[in-house]
A and B are shown apart, each in its own frame.
Chain A
């Protein structure tokens, strides 16, 4: 089955710890994206990558880091510098400039 997978679905971490969220796609899409969603707010873009070994900051990149070493994978690290990391994180991929396909999301809770 083709699609986007994110793991785990729920993640708990202690304050001050870095945590890495996984995103994998087998759709052969060039572009991948990370969004954050908070209650009552829309999706906000954290980082995006249009091609392997290249990525750009989105609107709220502070406290986050990414890598794009393989076309299929775009992991997101939430660092201790992120002031309010508890949120729902969504990964998406796209074949080009249009429709984005979303993974199931990871709900991160920092205790």
Chain B
């Protein structure tokens, strides 16, 4: 089976940095995705890691360690609009398995 864990909630201040961790144990691995989902809306793609290391894309960065079954999403210079749920998903056999999501609340 697939087991993907991430914290339920995190709170941070506008302008700060937040790191969302994701650990996984899956029967296969073709890559790891991070999606952002605002309440009542569809998830939107943030990042994709298939090799170990850090991928940077503007204010968002994502890190992967395949040997440790570990990834994190780093959100820098937080803005109020970053308040959302962040979903970690592992790809294997043409399917995505999702964690429960981490709700990030940004406070002024």
Residues of A at the B interface (CB closer than 8 Å) are 31, 33, 35, 40-45, 48, 50, 58, 88, 90, 94, 96-105, 107
Binds A, one of B55-63, B67-75, B76-84, B98-106: B98-106
**By the criterion of a CB under 8 Å from any partner CB, how many residues of chain B are at the interface?**
23
A-chain residues with CB within 8 Å of residue B97 when the two chains form the complex: 45
Q: Contact check: which of A40, A58, A103, A104 meets B95 at CB < 8 Å?
A: A58
For residue B24, CB closer than 8 A to chain A, the reply is no
Task: Decide if A102 touches B94 in the complex (CB within 8 Å).
Answer: no
A-chain residues with CB within 8 Å of residue B100 when the two chains form the complex: 40-42
Residues of B at the A interface (CB closer than 8 Å) are 4, 8, 30-31, 33, 40-45, 48, 87, 89, 91, 94-101
A42-B101, A97-B94, A101-B45 provided; 7 other pairs, C-beta below 8 A? A41-B100, A45-B96, A88-B40, A97-B30, A97-B91, A98-B48, A99-B48
B-chain residues with CB within 8 Å of residue A41 when the two chains form the complex: 100
Nearest CB of chain B from residue A106's CB, rounded to whole Å: 11
Q: Contact check: which of B40, B48, B87, B94 meets A50 at CB < 8 Å?
A: B94
- A42 to B96, alpha carbons, bound, how many Å? 11
Output the nearest chain B residue to A94 by Cβ-Cβ distance: B94
Task: Decide if A99 touches B45 in the complex (CB within 8 Å).
Answer: yes
